[in-house]
Structure 1
């Protein structure tokens, strides 16, 4: 007996098979560009990328390029399907987090420009969709080139936030290897998840928007590397929309953070046996210069001087000196590891540790807010 074939079900299953979205839990990479397979695939409407309903997150250029961890866009939608086209340069690699109503998936982008199915068959109603850089700026720049929805649906006002937070740091803040299964794993597209970093998690708990400015291996007064250790320091990269393409200066007027967290010093301390011990005077002088820059940009923001949870040497004892000499500041020392389960790739914090760090940061900010 021949069974009846449900053509619609087959097409739907095939569309899901081609979706190109990485399962975060299983780390299965399926990154083919999406060819929309729906009844209405030939009738889509492109959204103007400067539509007021779209909220751009983090640092995004006028050309809709973004490279920093957690940068991208967010919007609300009435339902249906969403397609987005992205461009990355040949031989580059990049990954995005697609967050639909709080559930995240990862999308590994292919070289050149490709169209991807971002959301499929959303029921009628309000849906929040965020498209955010999963990995750090060192992993290339992404350009949004098109956004399409079905003509029977519409964008709604983008999600709003109670406040804004700016997080500045190194590989720890970027989420280096935070989903690695072994501590000897390096940092990859699959195991670095910016959405599950301590500042991003804390921001969600505080219902705050977060801008993350980070780069692995960079420091405040010297970088981790042995050669050219004072070139491309984080305070220098801070000035640009795209720190991996330092051409267009970022405009601080675009953001108004109530709290600015700085977690820099782990790399300054690195390789001390080869480069010599970290010079306290030079480190604090560089830190103070950066504080002055941030004060010029955001006079009313509360600055949080943080360090940890990796080896920080004497920096945890130096930070209180900065708080004593600068008003509207505080220091935060993230607790050290308490077990192997908290350690990710190359001994960086695992997601489990990032969650604990987020709790520390949230409580710290709550205390600050109560005091004010």
Structure 2
């Protein structure tokens, strides 16, 4: 009896396999946006927030072959609509349900959470044996990179109250001011951000200058946020503008870096970015979670760099702490909610538009 059952089970499994096909990550149909590690082309690794995989497929069946990690969450967009939030803590075949229509569909898989939540391994997708796959239509020509901390990561954007403790599932970088701004300009968005990190000093450090945990400028060259061994090739992607929002964690407690040290390190970071990208406009943002002395020090970085290094393509945007309503604009751990992030985006978009001479749409704000 047991042999008969095993034979039947084997037949069922073989039949299921015959009805599906696996499309591996090195298939040219996949378009990758963000920093990825292609060392193993069959198992692509990534961890920075907002990294996305685009493709088109035909039919009503789609499953991801993925190892997402216990603390990572992903937005699955089908035909430009959020279909579901995916959580795949172990190596699994994750089926997307409820896809309607046997024709062509677009898909985007976006990592909501930041690198500290874990590294993701993408192993491809599973489709019906008769389904087709094709490359996504061209990504936006405009490109912006956002460099920052928890605010830029979208930390707690989906939290209900500021008293609510942070949970990975409430982090959604797609609702951060970075992606809101990119959508307004119809631009591709790279986010290089990590909660708690500063220019000189990380959040909670008992020293004025952090030495045990790398600051954001110290890990900026990495392909993976949490892996120091892989260096990103900056020739792969060049933004038309860079937005930096750092300094909040440097000045978040009474232990603060010396002003001269902060300004010097910030200037050095800007010069490093110049080596990678040339004379693209760089916008240095301060706020809204802390005010002085971060506000004045970041502004001095910009003003002195424009004089000393003749860096005329460097701009300061100050976001005041009173921009956010404490009863309606805050999510988990007193971080900006989606409503707060919208206000931030509305504050910075006109300045970027004027410098770049870009038009933008405001439909997300209505």
Q: TM-score, normalised by structure 1?
A: 0.83
Report the Cα offset of residue 184 of structure 1: 1.5
Provide the C-alpha distance between the structure 2 equivalents of 1:183 and 1:339, rounded to a whole number of angstroms.
Answer: 8
Report the Cα offset of residue 128 of structure 1: 2.0
Provide the C-alpha distance between the structure 1 equivalents of 2:20 and 2:279, rounded to a whole number of angstroms.
Answer: 45
Identify the residue that residue 115 of structure 1 maps to in structure 2: 93
Report the Cα offset of residue 194 of structure 1: 1.4
Identify the residue that residue 281 of structure 1 maps to in structure 2: 260
Report the Cα offset of residue 69 of structure 1: 0.7
Report the Cα offset of residue 262 of structure 1: 0.4
Structure 1 stretch displaced more, 113-122 or 51-60: 113-122
Secondary structure of 1:353's match?
helix
Q: Is the 8 A contact 2:54 2:135 kept in 1?
A: no
Provide the C-alpha distance between the structure 2 equivalents of 1:158 and 1:148, rounded to a whole number of angstroms.
Answer: 17
Report the Cα offset of residue 40 of structure 1: 7.3
Q: How does 1:74-89 map to 2 (within 5 A)?
A: 74-88=54-68
Report the Cα offset of residue 118 of structure 1: 2.9
Change (3 A) 1:334 1:151: farther
Q: Is the 8 A contact 2:156 2:166 kept in 1?
A: yes
2:277 aligned to which of 290, 298, 307? 298
Q: Which runs of 5+ in 1 are unaligned?
A: 1-38
Is 1:235 aligned to 2:211, yes or no? no
Is 1:257 aligned to 2:239, yes or no? yes
Report the Cα offset of residue 294 of structure 1: 0.3
Q: Is the 8 A contact 2:144 2:189 kept in 1?
A: yes
Provide the C-alpha distance between the structure 2 equivalents of 1:339 and 1:227, rounded to a whole number of angstroms.
Answer: 28
Q: Is the 8 A contact 1:68 1:137 kept in 2?
A: yes
Provide the C-alpha distance between the structure 2 equivalents of 1:146 and 1:371, rounded to a whole number of angstroms.
Answer: 36
Identify the residue that residue 340 of structure 1 maps to in structure 2: 327
Change (3 A) 1:367 1:79: farther
Q: How many residues align?
A: 329
Provide the C-alpha distance between the structure 1 equivalents of 2:328 and 2:81, rounded to a whole number of angstroms.
Answer: 23
Report the Cα offset of residue 119 of structure 1: 5.3
Q: 1:115-151: per-residue Cα shift (whole Å, max 9, x none)?
A: 1013543314442211111111110001001212223
Identify the residue that residue 68 of structure 1 maps to in structure 2: 48
Provide the C-alpha distance between the structure 1 equivalents of 2:292 and 2:182, rounded to a whole number of angstroms.
Answer: 28
Q: Is the 8 A contact 2:24 2:123 kept in 1?
A: no
Report the Cα offset of residue 96 of structure 1: 1.2
Q: Is the 8 A contact 1:164 1:257 kept in 2?
A: yes
Provide the C-alpha distance between the structure 1 equivalents of 2:127 and 2:113, rounded to a whole number of angstroms.
Answer: 26
Secondary structure of 1:327's match?
coil
Provide the C-alpha distance between the structure 2 equivalents of 1:321 and 1:226, rounded to a whole number of angstroms.
Answer: 24
Provide the C-alpha distance between the structure 1 equivalents of 2:198 and 2:336, rounded to a whole number of angstroms.
Answer: 18
Q: Is the 8 A contact 1:57 1:211 kept in 2?
A: yes
Q: TM-score, normalised by structure 2?
A: 0.84
Is 1:184 aligned to 2:163, yes or no? yes
1:151 aligned to which of 123, 126, 129? 129
Is 1:172 aligned to 2:151, yes or no? yes
Provide the C-alpha distance between the structure 1 equivalents of 2:206 and 2:258, rounded to a whole number of angstroms.
Answer: 17
Change (3 A) 1:287 1:156: same
Secondary structure of 1:83's match?
strand
